[in-house]
C-alpha cells in the first residue's frame, strides 16, 4: 500500500535523484539532469522534477478550475517548498490553474503536488455543484453584462 | 469550518469554466486578455513521443516533456462566483489536452477567422460530439473580407439554432457580449430540455 503510489509512473521522465518523496528538490543530480549546474546540455529544470518524476496525481478529479482550500493548521506542517507555498496560497480558495500561475509550474506538476497534499489531509477540494442551477447561470450572465 | 469574519458569504465559492476555442492564431489570447483580470497564461507539460508502449520502460529515457502555453483568464464576478476562461491549444498535436480542459465546462466559444474558416472545424466537431453548448464568434479582422453571417453558417455546416455573433477580440465590450450570448445559449438549451422533459 505504501509502496505503490510512489512507484515510477510509466510515462515518467528521467529523474536521476532519489525518488523518495522526502527528498529535497536540490538532491544531487545525475548525469542526465542538470538541476543547478546550468552548464549541461539541458539547462532547463525538468518540470516533473518537483514531483520526483511522477506525472499522475494520486487524486483524480482535479480539474484546472477545481478550487482548493487549506486548513490553517496545515501552515505549521513540515512541508517542503512548493507544498508549503500551495498551503499558504490556499488559505483562501484557489484553483489549480491559479496555483500553476503563482508557482510558475505546469498544471500537471501542480496536480501531482496537490494530490499528495489532499491525500495527506493538508488540502481539501471546495466541492462544487454537480449541475449549476438556472438562477446561477442567470447570475453569471448578469454579472458579466455589468462588468 | 471556521467562522471567518472577512465579510464574505459563508457559502463556498463557485468556479465556472468557459472554453475558448478555434484555430491557431484566431485571436483566443487576445479574446481572453481583453477581459481577464490576470496575465492570461498558464502552462502544461506533457510527454512527447506518446506512441511508445507504456509498459516499455526501456524506452522511457527517450521521452522528453513539451511545454505548451494555454490561455487562461480569471474574472471575479462576485464574492462567491469565479469565472475562468481557458483557451484550447491551437495545434493539433496538443489535442489530447482537450478532454481535461473541456470537462465540466459551462460552455464553449468557437472563434472563427473568415480567411481560414476550416481551422475551426475540429473545435465544432468536438463540441457537437460531446454535446457541449457552444456559440460561434466571428472575429473581425480589419483586413478580412466581410461575409454575411448566414454565409458563414453554411460554410461551417452549423445547426440553425447555434448562435453566431460577430465580435472584436480586442474589444472588452465585444468580448462581454460574446460571453453573455453563450450564457443565453446555455439557458435556452436548458429551457428546451425542461420542455422536452415535461412532454414525457
Which residues in chain A come in under a pLDDT of 50?
1-5, 12-43
The residue assigned the cell 517542503 is A80
Least confident of A25-39, A133-147, B117-131, B183-197: A25-39
Choose the closest CB to A134 out of B70, B103, B190.
Answer: B190
Query: What is the spatial order of strands in the sheet that B107-112 belongs to?
Result: B72-78, B81-87, B14-22, B107-112, B134-139, B164-167
DSSP one-letter code for B170: T
pLDDT at A146: 96
CA distances from B112 to A48, A142, B32, B131 (A): 35, 26, 15, 19
How close are the terminal C-alpha atoms of chain A, in Å? Answer: 50
Distance of alpha carbon A57 from alpha carbon B153, whole angstroms = 42
The mean predicted confidence, pLDDT, of chain B is 83
Burial pattern B94-106, b for ≥16 Cβ within 10 A else e, equals beebbebbbebbb
Burial of B91: CB neighbours in 10 Å, binned 0-12, 13-18, 19+:
exposed
For chain A positions 99-118, those within 8 Å of chain B (CB to CB) are: 100-101, 105-109
Please name the residue of chain B whose CA is at the shortest distance from the CA of residue A130.
B104
CB within 8 Å: A139 and B75: no
DSSP one-letter code for B135: E
Provide the pLDDT confidence category of residue B92 given band limits of 50, 70 and 90: low
ipTM of the complex: 0.82
Amino acid at each position: 500500500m505504501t509502496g505503490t503510489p510512489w512507484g515510477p509512473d510509466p510515462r515518467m521522465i528521467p529523474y536521476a535523484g532519489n525518488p523518495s518523496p522526502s527528498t529535497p528538490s536540490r538532491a544531487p543530480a545525475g548525469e542526465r539532469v542538470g538541476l543547478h549546474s546550468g552548464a549541461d546540455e539541458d539547462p532547463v529544470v525538468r518540470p516533473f522534477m518537483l514531483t520526483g518524476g511522477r506525472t499522475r496525481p494520486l487524486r483524480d478529479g482535479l480539474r484546472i478550475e477545481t478550487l482548493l482550500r487549506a486548513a490553517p493548521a496545515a501552515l505549521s506542517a513540515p512541508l517542503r517548498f512548493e507544498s508549503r507555498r500551495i498551503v499558504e496560497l490556499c488559505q483562501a480558495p484557489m484553483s489549480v490553474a491559479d496555483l500553476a500561475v503563482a508557482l510558475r509550474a505546469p498544471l500537471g506538476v501542480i496536480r501531482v503536488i496537490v494530490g499528495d497534499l489532499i491525500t495527506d489531509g493538508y488540502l481539501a477540494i471546495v466541492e462544487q455543484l454537480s449541475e449549476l442551477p438556472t438562477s446561477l447561470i442567470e447570475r453569471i450572465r448578469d454579472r458579466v453584462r455589468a462588468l | 469550518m471556521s467562522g471567518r469574519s472577512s465579510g464574505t458569504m459563508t457559502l463556498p465559492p463557485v468556479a465556472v469554466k468557459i472554453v475558448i476555442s478555434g484555430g491557431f492564431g484566431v485571436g483566443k489570447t487576445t479574446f481572453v486578455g481583453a477581459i481577464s483580470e490576470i496575465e492570461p497564461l498558464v502552462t502544461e507539460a506533457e510527454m512527447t513521443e506518446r506512441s511508445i508502449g507504456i509498459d516499455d520502460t526501456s524506452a522511457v529515457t527517450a521521452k522528453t516533456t513539451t511545454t505548451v502555453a494555454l490561455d487562461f483568464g480569471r474574472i471575479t464576478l462576485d464574492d462567491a462566483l469565479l469565472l475562468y476562461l481557458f483557451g484550447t491549444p491551437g495545434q493539433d498535436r496538443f489535442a489530447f489536452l482537450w478532454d481535461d480542459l473541456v470537462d465540466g465546462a459551462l460552455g464553449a466559444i468557437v472563434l472563427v477567422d473568415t480567411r481560414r474558416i476550416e481551422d475551426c472545424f475540429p473545435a465544432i466537431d468536438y463540441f457537437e460530439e460531446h454535446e457541449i453548448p457552444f456559440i460561434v464568434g466571428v472575429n473581425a479582422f480589419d483586413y478580412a473580407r466581410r461575409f454575411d453571417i448566414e454565409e458563414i453558417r453554411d460554410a461551417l455546416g452549423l445547426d440553425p439554432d447555434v448562435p453566431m455573433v460577430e465580435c472584436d477580440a480586442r474589444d472588452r465590450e465585444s468580448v462581454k457580449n460574446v460571453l453573455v450570448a453563450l450564457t443565453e445559449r446555455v439557458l435556452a438549451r436548458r429551457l428546451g430540455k425542461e420542455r422536452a422533459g415535461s412532454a414525457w
